[in-house]
Amino acid sequence: MKFNTKVIHGGQHHDPSTGAVMPPVYQTSTFVQTSPGQPINPDYEYSRAANPTRSALENALASIENGTRGLAFSSGLAATDCVLRSFKAGDEIISMDDLYGGTYRMFTRIYKNSGIKFHFVDMNDIEKFKSLINENTKLVWVETPTNPLMKLADIQEIAKITKEKKILFAVDNTFATPYLQKPLDLGADIVMHSATKYLGGHSDVIAGALIVKDEALGEQLHFQQFATGATLGPMDSFLVLRGIKTLHLRVERHCENGGKVVEFLNSHPKVKTVYYPGLPSHPYHEIAKKQMSGFGGMVSFTFVSGQKEDAIDFLEKLNVFTLAESLGGVESLANHPALMTHASIPEDKRKEVGITDDLVRLSVGIEDAEDLIEDLKQALA
């Protein structure tokens, strides 16, 4: 199947008992057994281990990322936490230096205290990255594009190194979505999504996902999920699955509107720098062209003045864009990373990677582009 067909049919089956086109919401905690240890369906004993609605979502996740196993979690951070539970004190993890604030917080304030050592590096400095690898290195964690500076990492190039060194390689594919980028096909071992964002697509659910190709790794991660309990409920699974069925249509429109917004911002006299991988001036534009089929709907920019007050004034004047955390919904959202999504990162670390106080991040939705541009124009005026 090609992608547009996969999001609707991939890994999916009509309900065998009723013929329902969409999988029912199996709002049940447990399943009947005919004799002790003999459930009617051997796949389902207790919903923490498996639930038919969640299974339908997990099959769809595996299909659209070209994996063999998908796992659905109660949040993107729960999915990340499941991966981190594979490691112990003394292990080392190399991570992209520009990260979602919640991921950075988990790495530095939870797992660092467990004795795991983290290195944060620009993954485009391959020699620096390679110099950090040693016998204790167990995982490489990458976001591409990154949140919020839209940095990119060459997945294929990094995968060559991790495979040679027998190190797990995980990619947070939230911003790109599987419609624009396939990390497993490029050599990654694990794909993570905050399914709250583009996969759900309607700002009505909190969810996370992991997808792998290696079946043994999938079984290990499933055990860690089952043993710790951060599973996605059946109603939320249904909502994410419903969102996935229109993913291709929505992301096409996000890309189209994102390009128009970037064109406007890039020529505005009050805007200093626009961060968007589709711009030829973007330092990693060639990587984006190589590994992505489009450039997405996430855009960040700074002001010529460099003043935080100008960013706040702009955000307070928006009418169509909604000032709120999160991204990837049908509605356009605006965010101030330093005060909102990345506030948990210390100020000196934010400045080190380039998250300035005048930086604004936009999640460009699927409204009429003309209305979005008019809103930006009046807020900048």
Active-site residue list: 48, 100, 172, 197
Q: Residue 127: how many CA atoms within 13 Å on its side-chain side?
A: 0
**Phi, psi torsion values for 77, nearest 5 degrees:** -70, -35
Q: How many CB atoms lie within 10 A of CB 223?
A: 13
DSSP state of 84: H
Q: Which two tokens stand for residue 19?
A: 């013929």
Q: Which two tokens stand for residue 153?
A: 């990492």
Coil, strand or helix at 372:
helix
Q: Taken in order 167, 172, 173, 176, is the CA torsion positive or negative? A: negative
The C-alpha atoms of residue 149 and residue 61 are separated, in whole angstroms, by 27
Among 144, 33, 136, CA closest to 88: 136
Q: Which two tokens stand for residue 163?
A: 């495979």
- In this structure, the strands spanning 360-363 and 333-335 are antiparallel
- The position carrying tokens 């007050």 is 309
The C-alpha atoms of residue 135 and residue 130 are separated, in whole angstroms, by 12
Q: Which two tokens stand for residue 273?
A: 């720098």
Q: Is-contact 10 56, C-beta < 8 A?
A: no
Q: Which two tokens stand for residue 75?
A: 């949040």
Q: Taken in order 89, 95, 174, 204, is the CA torsion positive or negative? A: positive
**Phi, psi torsion values for 105, nearest 5 degrees:** -60, -45
Q: How far apart are the first and last CA of the chain?
A: 48
Number of residues assigned to the chain: 381
Angle at 234 between CA 229 and CA 235, to 5 degrees: 125
